[in-house]
Amino acid sequence: MEDYSEGSTENLVALETYVVDELAGGLKPDTIIFEVAQRQGWDWSQAKAFVNQIAESQNSVIQRRQRPLLRIMSVLLMAAGTLLLGLTVLRLFDYFAVLSRQNSDLGFLTLLVSVIGMVATRELPQLIWGAGLLLSGLVGWWRTMPRPEPSELDGIEDEGDPFSL
Q: DSSP states of 132-158 as a string? A: HHHHHHHHHHHHTSPPPPPPTTTTPPP
What is the number of structural domains in the chain? Answer: 2
Q: Are 53 and 2 in contact (CB under 8 A)?
A: yes
Looking at the fold, whether 139 and 94 belong to one and the same domain comes out as yes
**Inside any domain, residue 153:** no
Looking at the fold, whether 93 and 136 belong to one and the same domain comes out as yes
Q: What is the pLDDT of residue 82?
A: 95
pLDDT at 2 over 60: no
**For the chain, how are helix, strand and coil distributed in percent, rounded to 5?**
75, 0, 25
Q: Tell me what percent of the residues of the chain surpass a pLDDT of 70.
A: 81
**Inside any domain, residue 62:** no
Q: What is the pLDDT of residue 86?
A: 93
Looking at the fold, whether 32 and 78 belong to one and the same domain comes out as no
Looking at the fold, whether 19 and 51 belong to one and the same domain comes out as yes
Instruction: Report the amino acid identity of residue 123.
Output: E
Q: pLDDT band at residue 7, thresholds of 50, 70 and 90?
A: low
Q: Are 8 and 19 in contact (CB under 8 A)?
A: no
Looking at the fold, whether 43 and 97 belong to one and the same domain comes out as no
Looking at the fold, whether 39 and 72 belong to one and the same domain comes out as no
**Inside any domain, residue 105:** yes
**pLDDT tens digits for 23-53?**
888 888 899 999 999 988 999 999 999 999 9
